[in-house]
């Protein structure tokens, strides 16, 4: 009965233009009519806009866990003969900050996210769109349940926008690559965690990679491993000139 009343409200209650656009966006992206539009409003509300609003951080926390579970289940069934290391690596590539940021832009979520541009730039938040995508997944889960949320993630996001074949072919273990390169060239490589920030529902780490005591790359991530991978990716841009000397 509750869902039926929500659908009646969706069709017959007059909405302002912004609300109509949000409802249309959710329907287009998820393939489902939102029963509780307020959830999606919160999902697209960044913490940089605080006064009188609820930020999307709690939904982001929930969506992160739901997404990880859905992707793990999907990969486990799709690759029944693959070992744990392979599955962990592919899942990490699918749900890392850069991938989610790009995916959020592909579905045009960036056009609907509310945030303070100046505050976000000053704070150095680089992954607000990917974080909002996780919040959106959390909203879909609360609005429609796990099975329909699972269908949204797999059918609407992974199948439409992710090439697993390319993902598998493209080795993104940047830390391993930089270590191998350094050893080959008889150079010392050190990874160092510079900073650990605690937000309401998650941590953010900043890492550096030093080659022969010179800083060659820096990166941030939700885990130390992700931060180190980003730092290593940046450092790899400078490996060729060093190798030639």
Where residue 239 sits, what CATH number does that domain have? Answer: 3.30.160.20
Query: Does 162 have pLDDT greater than 60?
Result: yes
Domain boundary among 125, 143, 169: 169
Average pLDDT, integer, range 167-192? 85
Kindly state whether residues 44 and 109 are assigned to the same domain: yes
147 is catalytic: no
pLDDT of 22 > 80? The answer is yes
Residue 122 is predicted with a pLDDT of 57
Q: Are residues 88 and 209 in the same domain?
A: no
> Which pLDDT score is estimated for 242?
41
pLDDT(19) > 60: yes
Total domains present in the chain? 2
Q: Same structural domain for residues 81 and 120?
A: yes
User: Domain end: 169, 196, 231, which one?
Assistant: 169
The confidence score (pLDDT) of residue 119 equals: 61
Q: In this structure, are 84 and 189 located in the same domain?
A: no
pLDDT for 133 equals 96
Q: Answer with the residue of higher pLDDT: 15 or 36.
A: 36
Can you give the pLDDT at residue 49? 73
Which of 48-52, 55-59, 76-80, 170-174 shows the lowest mean pLDDT across its residues?
48-52
Q: Look at 193 and 173; give whichever has higher pLDDT.
A: 193
Separation of alpha carbons 25 and 115, rounded Å: 18
Q: Which of 122, 137, 169 is the last residue of a domain?
A: 169
Marked catalytic residue, from 57, 64, 143, 228: 64
What band does 244 get if pLDDT is binned at 50, 70 and 90?
very low
Phi, psi of 210 (to 5 degrees): -115, 135
Cα separations (Å) of 194 from 47, 168, 177, 227, 233? 24, 31, 21, 10, 17
Question: Which of 29-38, 61-70, 134-143, 188-197 has the lowest average pLDDT?
Answer: 188-197
Residue 6 shares a structural domain with residue 83:
yes
- Alpha-helical (H) ranges within the chain are 2-12, 17-30, 37-43, 57-78, 84-95, 97-106, 117-123, 128-144, 146-151, 159-161, 164-169, 174-184, 224-235, 239-244
The region of weakest confidence among 57-66, 80-89, 123-132, 217-226 is: 123-132
Domain containing 60: what range? 2-169
Strand partners, 196: 205
Q: Does 71 share its domain with 154? A: yes
Tell me, yes or no, whether 11 and 118 share the same domain: yes
**Per-residue confidence (pLDDT) for residue 42, from 0 to 100:** 93
Selected catalytic residue, list 57, 60, 89, 134: 134
- The answer to whether 171 is a known catalytic residue is no
Q: Is the pLDDT score of 72 beyond 90?
A: yes
pTM over 0.75: no
Please tell me whether residues 117 and 225 are part of one structural domain.
no
pLDDT interval class at 13 (50, 70, 90): very low
For residue 184, what are the contacts with CB-CB under 8 A and spacing of at least 6? none
Q: What is the DSSP letter of 156?
A: I
Q: pLDDT of 221-239, one tens digit each?
A: 878 888 888 888 888 887 7
Does residue 139 sit in the same domain as residue 206? no
């Amino acid at each position: 009965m509750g869902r039926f009343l929500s659908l009646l409200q969706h069709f017959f209650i007059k909405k302002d233009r912004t609300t109509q656009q949000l409802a249309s966006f959710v329907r287009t992206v998820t393939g489902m009519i939102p029963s509780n539009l307020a959830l999606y409003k919160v999902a697209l509300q960044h913490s940089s806009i605080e006064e009188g609003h609820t930020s999307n951080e709690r939904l982001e926390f929930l969506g992160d866990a739901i997404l990880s579970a859905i992707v793990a289940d999907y990969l486990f069934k799709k690759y029944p003969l693959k070992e744990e290391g392979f599955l962990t690596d592919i899942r990490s590539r699918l749900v890392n900050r850069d991938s989610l940021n790009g995916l959020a832009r592909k579905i045009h979520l960036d056009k609907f996210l509310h945030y303070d541009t100046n505050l976000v730039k000053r704070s150095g938040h680089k992954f607000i769109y990917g974080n909002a995508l996780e919040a959106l997944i959390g909203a879909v889960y609360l609005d429609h349940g796990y099975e329909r949320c699972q269908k949204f993630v797999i059918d609407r996001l992974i199948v439409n926008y992710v090439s697993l074949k390319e993902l598998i072919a493209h080795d993104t273990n940047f830390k391993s690559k930089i270590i191998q390169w350094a050893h080959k060239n008889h150079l010392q490589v050190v990874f160092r965690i510079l900073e650990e920030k605690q937000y309401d529902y998650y941590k953010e780490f900043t890492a550096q990679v030093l080659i022969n005591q010179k800083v060659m790359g820096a990166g941030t991530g939700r885990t130390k491993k992700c931060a180190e991978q980003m730092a290593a990716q940046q450092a790899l841009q400078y490996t060729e000139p060093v190798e030639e000397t």
